[in-house]
């Protein structure tokens, strides 16, 4: 483009840069300051108070376990979905639409959906009764059944969060040229080999962004937990919420926020390192 | 499907059994998505009796719209629904107005700082953005934005804007530069060329982006709950009344959250994969 109009792109990006500076960068710095200061002077008091909190260790453990349980399953289901739908001709659009429906569903709504299934007089217990597995209503979501509650939350998260992974994976698969797989097939590679040696390496960029997105979201888990288990299952964002809204202690809430950010950033870094995307080998 | 089955060279028995496996897998995954929504709808329309019916059959017996309408008439529900619409509307408007020009700049120009800008946009992904609502409480109180729909819309725009900039970049790259240049040759100014040539071609994709911005705002729980007290959005309202609401109200709330976004996703289903293909690059 002509040089005498070089100010145009800056004019075009300026509003969004200003907006993100004011509402992303500034709050980011404010959070860090709030977390590490006390009455206007630098202090580790908030961090210490956070770590001394009775729910601190539990909320870290719960959040990590949930992420470790949920993200791999979501990726696996998404890959299965992507592989399946690639073999379908007619009806492909409809199938993909059905599978993307949870994309529009919030974590709060997902929690309420699974509450209707897993509550004491819900459909899950009815099914178990019908199969003769239980005789009375069993409870799955109380503080006395932490393992069942964990699985309930994990199932709700997998139900809701798989769609986004699937959409990114399918978008990635669509960009893999058919010739690659056909060539491998001609040279005698089986379906399993083709998947591991051809398809998976070629969709690395999609894998990377799906994993980053999903993992950061998994560390943010909150409303689905609250809808299913109330405060029986502490998670990091839930603790930040409680310190802010119930205890009105913005400092400790900010300390939790900083902790969540550090974990999210670390996870992103690990994915960027672990899944190398080589631009020259992309289709 | 039958045409494909017969066109395969493999023995017919093997093909049909693997086809059968494929379609039963697909059907199972479709059921996995749909059945829970159906069940929460039953819960929302079954009212109090429905909740305590034991054992449940899963069949649509004893349902009517009355329990759902009763829920809508509960104090605060309709208002929070309107608040959610308002916040989502602000999010859509701001993220497109601020994001689309940036997307156009990224698509059409090479300029110093382009990589820096892209880094800023990508950086937002590594952060749990909604959490940034925590420190904003203080500044929003000072600015008079606390407990307002505008405040919620602003923080939701932080979530939607990076997405909008990246996606619109891809959309504008899909509009051939030659068309725009031809318009200049025929005497259009840059602005005229943009609005007469580029904008109409990019419009469907931009509408799809707007729908996503809507869904992002509509579904956000944390920031909305932290930044409001009286002017709750639907998610924030449901979260705060959750523990004291009867079960069938919770299910009705869940259904109410699900319906609009499912309709919107249906409306943009054709663009879903193109958009995510772009934004995950």
Pick from B100-104, B118-122, B202-206 the range whose average pLDDT is largest. B100-104
Would you state the pLDDT for residue B7? 44
Alpha carbons B178 and A133: distance in angstroms, whole number: 68
Chain A residues with CB-CB distance to B129 below 8 A:
24
Question: Where is pLDDT greater, at B184 or B269?
Answer: B184
B263 has a pLDDT exceeding 50? yes
* Alpha-carbon B41 to chain mean position: 20
Band of residue B277 on the pLDDT scale cut at 50, 70, 90: low
For residue A81, is pLDDT > 50? yes
Question: What average pLDDT is seen over chain A?
Answer: 90
* pLDDT at res. B1: 40
B106 touches A213 (CB < 8 A) = no
Residue numbers in B near A171 (CB within 8 A): 273-274, 276-277, 280
Measure in Å the smallest separation between the Cα of A32 and chain B Cα atoms.
9
A62-70 mean pLDDT: 96
CB contact under 8 A, A250 and B137: yes
Q: Is A244 on the interface with B (CB under 8 A)?
A: yes
Confidence of residue A246 (pLDDT cuts 50, 70, 90): confident
Q: How far apart are CA B92 and CA A106, in angstroms?
A: 17
pLDDT of A249 strictly over 60:
yes
Residue A280 pLDDT > 80: no
Please give the ipTM for the structure prediction: 0.89
| Paired strand residues for A37 | A42
User: What local confidence, expressed as pLDDT, does residue B272 receive?
Assistant: 80
**Angle B133-143/A250-274 helices, nearest 10 degrees?**
130
Could you tell me the CA-to-CA distances from A230 to A60, B4, B229, B240, B273 in Å, in that order? 17, 51, 20, 11, 35
Percentage of residues in chain B with pLDDT exceeding 90? 55
**Does pLDDT of B212 surpass 60?**
yes
* CB-based contact B45:B64 (threshold 8 Å): yes
User: Mean of the per-residue pLDDT values for chain B?
Assistant: 88
Please spell the DSSP secondary structure of chain B, one letter per residue. -HHHHHH--S-HHHHHHHHHHHHHHHHHHHHHHHHHHHHHHHHHHHHHHHHH-SS---S--S--SHHHHHHHHSTTHHHHHHHHHHHHHHHHHHHHHHHHHHHHHHHH---TTHHHHHHHHHHGGGS-GGGGHHHHHHHHHHHT-TTSHHHHHHHHHHHHHHHHHHHHHHHHHTS-HHHHHHHHHTT--HHHHIIIIIHHHHHHHHHHHHHHHHHHHHH--HHHHHH-SSS--HHHHHHHHGGGS-HHHHHHHHHHHHHHHHHHHHHTTTTHHHHHHHHT-
pLDDT band at B45 (very low <50, low <70, confident <90, very high): very high
Mean pLDDT of B90-96: 97
A20–B132 CB contact, under 8 Å: no
pLDDT of residue B124: 87
B180-to-B141, B186, B192, B206 alpha-carbon distances in Å:
46, 10, 10, 18
Question: Is the Cβ–Cβ distance between A240 and A260 less than 8 Å?
Answer: yes
pLDDT, tens only, A162-200: 999 999 999 888 888 878 878 888 888 888 888 888 888
| Predicted pLDDT of residue A174 | 84
pLDDT at A158 over 60: yes
Look-up of token digits 């939790």:
A256
Cα–Cα distance, B32 to A21 (Å, whole number): 42
* Tens digits of residue pLDDT in A35-47: 999 888 899 999 9
Q: Is the pLDDT of residue B9 over 70?
A: no
Residues in contact with A240: Cβ distance below 8 Å, sequence separation at least 6, in sequence order: A253, A256, A257, A260, B131, B134
**Residues in a beta bridge with A217:** none
Whether residue A143 is predicted with pLDDT greater than 90 in this model: the reply is no
Q: Is A277 within 8 Å of chain B by CB?
A: no
Tokens of residue B150, six digits:
């505008």
Helix (H, G, I), strand (E, B) or coil at A29: helix
| pLDDT (mean) for B47-55 | 85
Which residues 18-57 on chain A approach chain B with CB closer than 8 angstroms? Answer: 19-20, 23-24, 27-28, 30-31, 34
Domains of chain A with CATH codes: 64-236+257-281 (1.10.3720.10)
Where does the pLDDT of residue A282 fall: very low under 50, low under 70, confident under 90, or very high at 90 and above? low
The 10s digit of each residue's pLDDT in B128-171 is 888 888 888 888 999 999 999 999 999 999 999 999 999 899 89
CB A238 within 8 A of CB A59: yes
Cβ A216–B125 below 8 Å, yes or no?
A: yes
Question: Given an 8 Å threshold on Cβ–Cβ distance, is A17 in contact with B55?
Answer: no
For position A46, what pLDDT does the model report? Answer: 92
Percent of chain B with pLDDT over 70: 93
Which among A113, A119, A257 has CB closest to B134?
Answer: A257
Q: pTM score, two decimals?
A: 0.89
């Amino acid at each position: 483009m002509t040089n005498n109009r070089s100010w145009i792109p800056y004019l075009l990006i300026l509003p969004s840069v200003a907006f993100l500076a004011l509402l992303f960068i500034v709050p980011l710095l404010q959070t860090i300051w709030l977390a590490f200061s006390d009455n206007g002077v630098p202090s580790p008091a908030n961090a210490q108070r956070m770590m001394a909190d009775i729910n601190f260790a539990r909320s870290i453990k719960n959040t990590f376990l949930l992420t470790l349980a949920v993200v791999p399953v979501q990726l696996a289901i998404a890959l299965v979905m992507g592989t399946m739908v690639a073999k379908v001709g007619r009806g492909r659009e409809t199938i993909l639409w059905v599978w993307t429906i949870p994309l529009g569903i919030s974590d709060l709504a997902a929690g309420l959906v699974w509450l209707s299934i897993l509550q004491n007089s819900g459909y899950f217990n009815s099914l178990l009764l019908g199969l003769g597995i239980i005789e009375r209503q069993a409870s799955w979501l109380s503080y006395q059944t932490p393992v069942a509650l964990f699985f309930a939350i994990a199932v709700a998260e997998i139900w809701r969060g798989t769609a986004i992974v699937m959409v990114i994976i399918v978008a990635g698969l669509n960009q893999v040229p058919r010739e690659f797989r056909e060539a491998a097939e001609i040279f005698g590679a089986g379906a399993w080999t083709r998947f591991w040696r051809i398809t998976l390496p070629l969709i690395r960029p999609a894998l990377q962004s799906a994993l980053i997105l999903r993992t950061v979201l998994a560390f943010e888990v909150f409303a689905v937990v609250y809808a299913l288990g109330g405060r029986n299952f502490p998670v990091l964002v839930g603790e930040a919420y409680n310190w802010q809204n119930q205890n009105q202690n913005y400092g400790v809430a900010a300390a939790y926020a900083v902790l969540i950010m550090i974990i999210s950033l670390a996870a992103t870094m690990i994915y960027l390192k672990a899944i190398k995307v080589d631009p020259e080998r992309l289709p | 499907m039958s045409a494909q089955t017969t066109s395969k060279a493999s023995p017919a028995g093997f093909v049909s059994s693997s086809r059968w496996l494929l379609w039963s897998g697909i059907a199972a995954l479709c059921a996995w998505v749909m059945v829970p929504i159906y069940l929460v709808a039953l819960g929302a329309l079954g009212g109090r009796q429905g909740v305590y019916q034991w054992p449940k059959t899963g069949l649509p017996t004893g349902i009517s719209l009355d329990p759902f309408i009763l829920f809508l008439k509960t104090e605060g529900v309709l208002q929070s629904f309107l608040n959610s619409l308002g916040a989502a509307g602000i999010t859509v408007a701001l993220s497109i107005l601020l994001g689309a020009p940036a997307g156009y700049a990224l698509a059409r120009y090479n300029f110093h700082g382009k990589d820096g800008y892209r880094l800023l946009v990508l950086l937002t992904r590594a952060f749990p953005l909604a959490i940034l609502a925590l420190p904003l409480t203080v500044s929003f109180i000072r600015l008079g934005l606390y407990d307002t729909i505008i405040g919620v819309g602003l923080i939701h725009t932080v979530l939607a804007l990076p997405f909008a900039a990246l996606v619109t970049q891809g959309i504008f790259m899909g509009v051939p530069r030659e068309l725009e240049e031809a318009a200049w040759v025929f005497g259009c100014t840059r602005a005229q060329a943009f609005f007469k040539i580029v904008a109409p071609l990019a419009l469907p994709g931009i509408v799809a982006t707007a729908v996503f911005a809507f869904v992002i705002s509509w579904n956000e729980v944390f920031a909305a709950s932290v930044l409001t007290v009286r002017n709750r959005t639907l998610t924030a309202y449901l979260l705060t009344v959750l523990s004291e609401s009867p079960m069938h109200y919770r299910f009705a709330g869940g259904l109410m959250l699900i319906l609009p976004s499912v309709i919107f996703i249906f409306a943009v289903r054709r663009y879903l994969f193109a958009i995510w293909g772009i934004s995950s690059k």
